[in-house]
Structure 1
């Protein structure tokens, strides 16, 4: 791939290049596997609660009945779209346009004030990715244990853990595919017809499509979707201003970064020419996209 010449303007205290040095940068960096470290805290509890609530809503809604029909049923063949007591017809899709416009402006409004709340708490890609990471952590262990497991040769322990992880991922992906199709075909009939090969051919196609799509997206692609594919990530930063709540790195306080003894006081560290950043890289390890926030 042809490399694009670039000029490094990184301050001398950040990064590893000399200011003024001409470098080349690849348009797409080779993917490196990210081992996300699990953390605890108030905002993590809020995120997990939001994720579980969204997933439970997604998986349970098709099973709810409203009278003699599913509570949420998009009947494409009958051209009727049922949402609880309301029934919409194709000629009323202008209402959907208004709903999407309101949702878009609502998302932009929240982004201006609260930053990347959508990405971290409610984006389907994030919700399913965090679920897959949660399963990975429960089956293969902590970050250090997963790194050690991947670096060791294949053995019985590694084989069953890898097999169990991918089996769990595939089961979640299968449930996702069946549930999604269940919004367009009554799910109670669907789950009875799929094993007996009595379901419509398109049902098998879309269940298989979303099975593969979910497995690849949440299990393998993960941060690649956010970095290279997501259109919202391309322009959301233009909605930020100085009052937007975002997680950022205070270069004036953190630099020059460097390790130091625990016994070293803050004043002594400053006298030694060190900033508050101890260069532990925990901020990188907990980021699901593997971004070093210290580089911007």
Structure 2
């Protein structure tokens, strides 16, 4: 079996590399607004995420905030389910599933997550829209930054940063609202009655949003996000990426609007379709030139495709000089969209999702913990009975109050002394001191297995078992 072809890379002389260039932002990127199919698609993928983020904390479920991560109470409410620290393995499981989905999407279509639904991209797009609203188009912003400070410049800059901070503050309050009841958090925040930690976290996420989306922008994608560094290893020659068709576009050069390509002045070559307008560079949020080939800085937002297609339309040329395509397609080879690695990812995702769904459906909202009395292994009563002491903790992990029956099994004729029917409020842990007695004649070993069982009186199918040991004198 032949090895998959590698994506071609640009050769760079190590002597030309500045060791500090990676960490320098360089010139400020002034992005240009563009309209087109992929820009509209980014609106349809970004806005649902934005709306969901701000709307979900306001949803109610059975009189409770639908999604609330109550850290002090160690309860994590998601719709009708309450998760506890004991359920954290499910969170790890869910993160692994999300990682595999991301890997599969990357193998198939590159960094589309970054370009369309990543929160950094969505929030940065909002901030860039505010910037254009207050300071004008790309050329107007460049001109404004070069001007001396004036009342007009101060007003525009103040309006921009004020709106940025306002949106960042709303973001910060909403984020904290996932961990504190948002309906109480908002009035407390403005009335000055919120606790210190709430103010601290609101301030932290406000500043984080303001700095990341307003100032750092592409630097987050290039230097802070690890995905930009390892995503290339998942690419192959059949991965859909935003690419420039060099064979069709070169040699590039300016020309008048015509229906066909024009020859160069010397007449030795024909011009390619690229008119070297640099519009693809001007709309790029990370400031790269896609004509230089595949680069890790590209977030696959496809704005350069919309920009180039608009120029091709004006020049009466065929669209697709910059497009979503594959390395094989550019080289005239057949593209295989379905391939072994994608099938393996899909199979792994299907298995993990199925197991996760079964685990979630069959999850019992009840837990029991048994602690033996460590001060003495056993006690012999005046009647000659062997006694062990335990503390049983019954945890009601549901969102309704419950009544439960506790029993023990494992040794014949064992006697349970203590509460065997208890009422436990939703989210509470009820401790039951219990003593077990047995005739020494029933003990066949010095230490024997026993099982405590807790059953929900309302729903007999909801039950939980916990094994322990019963210890007696040395058995002969």
TM-score norm. by structure 2 comes to 0.56
Pair 276,25 (structure 1): closer, same or farther in 2 beyond 3 Å: farther
Pair 30,44 (structure 1): closer, same or farther in 2 beyond 3 Å: closer
Match for residue 207 of structure 1? 202
Q: Determine if the alignment matches structure 1 residue 47 to structure 2 residue 50.
A: no
> Of 276, 279, 285, which residue of structure 1 is paired with 2:276?
279
> Of 166, 176, 187, which residue of structure 2 is paired with 1:192?
187
> Of 8, 18, 31, which residue of structure 2 is paired with 1:25?
18
Q: Determine if the alignment matches structure 1 residue 126 to structure 2 residue 121.
A: yes
Pair 156,104 (structure 1): closer, same or farther in 2 beyond 3 Å: same
Instruction: Return the alpha-carbon distance in structure 2 between the equivalents of residues 192 and 82 of structure 1.
Output: 22
Match for residue 97 of structure 2? 102
Secondary structure of the 1:81 match is strand
Aligned residue-pair number? 280
> Of 68, 78, 81, which residue of structure 1 is paired with 2:76?
81
Instruction: Return the alpha-carbon distance in structure 1 between the equivalents of residues 258 and 116 of structure 2.
Output: 38
Secondary structure of the 1:248 match is strand
Secondary structure of the 1:82 match is strand
Note the C-alpha offset of 1:273: 4.5
Secondary structure of the 2:175 match is helix
Instruction: Return the alpha-carbon distance in structure 2 between the equivalents of residues 248 and 293 of structure 1.
Output: 7
Instruction: Return the alpha-carbon distance in structure 1 between the equivalents of residues 268 and 140 of structure 2.
Output: 38
Could you list the runs of 4 or more consecutive aligned residues of structure 1 that deviate by over 4 angstroms after TM superposition? 269-273
Match for residue 146 of structure 1? 141
Instruction: Return the alpha-carbon distance in structure 2 between the equivalents of residues 291 and 37 of structure 1.
Output: 13
Match for residue 268 of structure 1? 263
Determine if contact 2:134/2:159 at 8 Å carries over to the other structure: yes
After TM superposition, the structure 1 stretch with the greater mean CA deviation from structure 2, 277-286 or 181-190, is 277-286
Match for residue 430 of structure 2? none
Instruction: Return the alpha-carbon distance in structure 2 between the equivalents of residues 97 and 120 of structure 1.
Output: 26
Secondary structure of the 2:69 match is strand
TM-score norm. by structure 1 comes to 0.89
Secondary structure of the 1:195 match is helix
Note the C-alpha offset of 1:245: 1.5
Q: Determine if the alignment matches structure 1 residue 246 to structure 2 residue 251.
A: no
Match for residue 171 of structure 2? 176
Q: Deviations over 1:242-290 (max 9, x none)?
A: 2222111222322222222334831535854532222111111111000
Note the C-alpha offset of 1:21: 10
After TM superposition, the structure 1 stretch with the greater mean CA deviation from structure 2, 166-175 or 271-280, is 271-280
Secondary structure of the 1:73 match is strand
Note the C-alpha offset of 1:141: 1.3
Instruction: Return the alpha-carbon distance in structure 2 between the equivalents of residues 149 and 166 of structure 1.
Output: 15
Pair 30,130 (structure 1): closer, same or farther in 2 beyond 3 Å: closer
Q: Deviations over 1:194-239 (max 9, x none)?
A: 1222111110111000011000000000001111111011111221
Note the C-alpha offset of 1:22: 4.8
Q: Determine if the alignment matches structure 1 residue 163 to structure 2 residue 158.
A: yes
Secondary structure of the 2:288 match is coil
Match for residue 290 of structure 1? 287
Unaligned runs of 5+ in 1: 1-7, 11-19
Q: Deviations over 1:151-185 (max 9, x none)?
A: 12222221111111100000010001100100000
Instruction: Return the alpha-carbon distance in structure 2 between the equivalents of residues 253 and 50 of structure 1.
Output: 31
Note the C-alpha offset of 1:82: 0.3
Q: Larger relative CO (CA 8 A, sep 6+): 1 or 2?
A: 1
Instruction: Return the alpha-carbon distance in structure 2 between the equivalents of residues 75 and 201 of structure 1.
Output: 17
Secondary structure of the 2:173 match is helix
Instruction: Return the alpha-carbon distance in structure 1 between the equivalents of residues 107 and 11 of structure 2.
Output: 28
Determine if contact 2:262/2:270 at 8 Å carries over to the other structure: no
Unaligned runs of 5+ in 2: 1-9, 294-476
